[in-house]
Structure 1
């Protein structure tokens, strides 16, 4: 009983700390007037689509884990994923969440440490390949990119294909055991990033922004790459900085871009708080006791 009480208390403390951190990071004097004019129906839709993207990410993680081999039911994996999202609110570059995944899954299955670490590393890597692939593909449709770059958009499509093949070569050369899941995980990553771009478009739509959508998408993909780097706690501020700087060069409005980025972070943070309420067993349900 005491252990349960302490666990619940710890969850409440961590949840309160997360909420306080979020509130501290947002400049409410500038944000609230813009939020008051926003259409909350679009924001709610963005919240739902964002969480659908996290379900997609969980499926991708499960595909990589099957190679280890680790077979876990989807309800367990989604709870694990949200628990790790919660940890990532406080630690740089998702290191805390990935560390927890390795610790818990190895404790539950006694799996090979290097193979498990490879699975989680590739899970992140496949996302980076998909982001780069999408950015190159999307850039081919951008009038701004066409005006800046000296070569036609067909070259960008060729570069995107090189990125796809390069990802497969990395799997084949260094992680041969995972080669069979490369295409499935790549497609899931494309779906995941596409859903998250739709989230951004919904947030922009909530503010009445309907122009330069391709450019907004390109900045979002670039900020997604940057937010993976362990530069700030939980990636806070990275997207906002990139959106703000990009507004100096691209045909986008800086205040609306930064607000959309802040709303995206807020949706991520609120979704992640569900992980504070998750309680995961250290052993599989079918484990036998000695």
Structure 2
């Protein structure tokens, strides 16, 4: 009988002091903008799970269908005993088809929310009892040294970056991130990545501003988190939520808009929001297949496989 593994996490989450420094730097920008990873504390992660269930937000369902349909094709090019590194694992619901298709894999889930990661990892470990697993709570958007055992360090690496999360980076930052992944995954590594593509404006804006209001609650939770974790003084309900397609940049801009003059106080510093001033909570860039492959090539990757949905609105790319 195969040995039953247990799931544990290594917590490398930024300290409150580091978080506060990130927040203050973001509030100095124009427009003011905070990094997207701050959205994903335990409450934010739960709200995002609800967003993924909404009828307007089809990305998760589409991606899971593609993975179930094409996992064997993707994994046919991946050697046995490989280590799967999932960046932004969230609820860890998408990696299952890969773990089923691979021969004797090991798995590392990286995510910024420790509690959410622990719960998701335990569920996944129960489903794949014989697969060695490890969670790492960290800001994976920055340079990262993986605390791997000698045995795991010898495995070839398959990076898995679903959810079109690359779109949260500015294009130059996305290229730099892909370069870092190239170093992290090694000369024989591969990367399976999900990319959302441009679609009609109304469809995109609805996906990021669902009728049930989970997208708005997700954005507002960012300010609630500043209150909870950093003792910030701010009125989260003094802001409205807006999701807008910006065609020139090929991105959705998600923002909290000040309903009147607002004051945010953090570590003795005061930031004043004028009426109508925005706080960008995240961007989501959309890439055509040609634009993404060009971006990947600029970071030293080449495309081996691409599979898309019937509407060619979302695609999975296997890069080497």
TM-score, structure 1 normalization: 0.31
TM-score, structure 2 normalization: 0.29
Taking CA–CA contacts closer than 8 Å with sequence separation of 6 or more, which of the two structures ends up with the larger relative contact order? 1
Name the structure with the higher helix share. 1
Name the structure with the higher strand share. 2
